[in-house]
Amino acid sequence: MDGSVHHDITVGTKRGSDELFSSISYGPYIMSTTANGNDSKKFKGDIRGPGVPSRVIHIRRLPSDITEAEVISLGLPFGDVTNLLMLKAKNQAFLEMNSEEAAQNMVGYYSTVTPIIRHHPVYVQFSNHKELKTDNSPNQERAQSALRALSTSHVDMAVAVPSTVLRVVVENLVYPVTLDALCQIFSKFGTVLRIIIFTKNNQFQVLLQYPDGASAQAAKLSLDGQNIYNGCCTLRISFSKLTSLNVKYNNEKSRDFTRPDLPSGDSQPTMEHPALATAFAPGIISAAPYAGATHAFPPAFTIQPAGLTVPALPGALASLTLPGATRLGFPPIPAGHCVLLISNLNPERVTPHCLFILFGVYGDVMRVKILFIKKENALVQMSDGTQAQLAMSHLNGQRLHGKPLRITLSKHTSVQLPREGHEDQGLTKDYSNSPLHRFKKPGSKNYSNIFPPSATLHLSNIPPSVVEDDLKMLFSSSGAMVKAFKFFQKDHKMALIQMGSVEEAIESLIEFHNHDLGENHHLRVSFSKSSI
């Protein structure tokens, strides 16, 4: 099939038969097909509707020698993959995710970062189908076997509980790899809490900690064996036996994002573990200081003793080679750059306050400016480059007021306030002293609770007098649909509320974060990784 055809293929089952439908249609053309060369699976097609979200993802222009594991790996960072149908003869596949929300996150992400498999760009879109039905052919059994090996829900946790800490060795180090570049690559799979880089046995190594094992596992499965740059800087990833990293200094060799108050270190500390003594010899990596730094960072840190690594999980993917660092993460944010340009806003509804609250989920917003001449564009200044990266990677492509956000790095290094006596209709706001900053407190637990936008919101600081119906009524008062609600069993100060869509959840967070519930309680709202 010509790779330029953009129509979806409809998959279904015949009445009274285990076989699938027997033709593919592209507009007026219909042809019979055999899915994998010798499969009995057949297809009936129809022209795609206008990108209606579905749990089933249609992937096109795959390399002819693609493996099941490589296709599954495209979905794993976003949630469990529950079914797979390979159409190798057509260079296509269908992937079924465990939820529509996971599928939306996947399509949204790949609309901004095209996945490259063995130098081939592949294309990801929603299928017309709400679920995927497959037969028991040998090829399908192979797909199911790959699913069992790779999906997080099928890992025998008694055999190998994923650590939250990864050990990464970078082989064939032709170009410098910085701590910030690694953060941008690994933050695709979850929030990076702590990271340490060092040289040991003449190898460039990294220890990196996520808040949960699922993020670490997704990163390992998708990134192990990939090249950061074309043909070099290969990542070899395993789980560490460490349960946590103890970072004492924030500099170009180590970073604790939950402790921005840590010193940079003025002298070489005593090593807590002799094997790491080589970590502070003049390095093979020449790193720029941390983007949000207010002081220089000489290389110095100490960590807990490093242990051995546990055996790797099956099915680690070694052939998703990407041609450049920007394929693994977003383009690196240069030092000192923490201003984002947001475009495609709804000029009738956007306000500086709504951008302050939304972007404030991922960092402390200092200033917001909606452009006077072109009100669908705005500048948002975060407190540092890492927070700007987090906000960009989580919010780019998400819908606000009916339009998908487009977020890029601005050429500006700061947002200028209007000169005294110059009125700009309240389009520029300074939030540098706002009491609503979530991350100003060193070691705040908010660092561990940064999640992508989701339909389920986490509510906290609920007073005892407020009951379930009060909160359901509040969140539906703006016209949004409340699908489910649940108080935390042990703590009624917290609850989960599920909205009708991710877009409704985003607008509800903006509207009701810091809402006064009485009794000196202001509601705290954030995105949840759980569902009800």
Maximal C-alpha separation, the chain: 78
Predicted pLDDT at 126: 93
Residue 27: pLDDT above 70?
no
For the chain, the straight-line distance linking the first and the last C-alpha, in angstroms and rounded, comes to: 42
| 161: nearest Cα among 25, 372, 21, 311 | 311
Residue with tokens 């400016």: 369
Are the beta carbons of 260 and 275 closer than 8 angstroms? Answer: no
Give the confidence band of 305 by pLDDT, cuts at 50, 70, 90: very low
DSSP 319-358: ----SSHHHHSSPPPPTT--EEEEES--TTT--HHHHHHH
In degrees to the nearest 10, what's the CA dihedral of 355, 356, 357, 360?
A: 110
Is pLDDT of 63 > 90?
no
Judge whether residue 403 has pLDDT over 60: yes
**Kind plus residue range of the DSSP H or E element containing 44:** strand 44-45
What is residue 36's predicted lDDT score, i.e. its pLDDT?
A: 36
What's the mean pLDDT in 169-193?
Answer: 84
Is the pLDDT score of 331 beyond 80? no
The pLDDT assigned to 301 comes to 27
Domain annotation for the chain: domains and CATH numbers: 56-152 (3.30.70.330), 165-256 (3.30.70.330), 339-430 (3.30.70.330), 451-527 (3.30.70.330)
pLDDT at position 139, please?
73
List of residues 6+ apart from 426 with CB closer than 8 A: 352
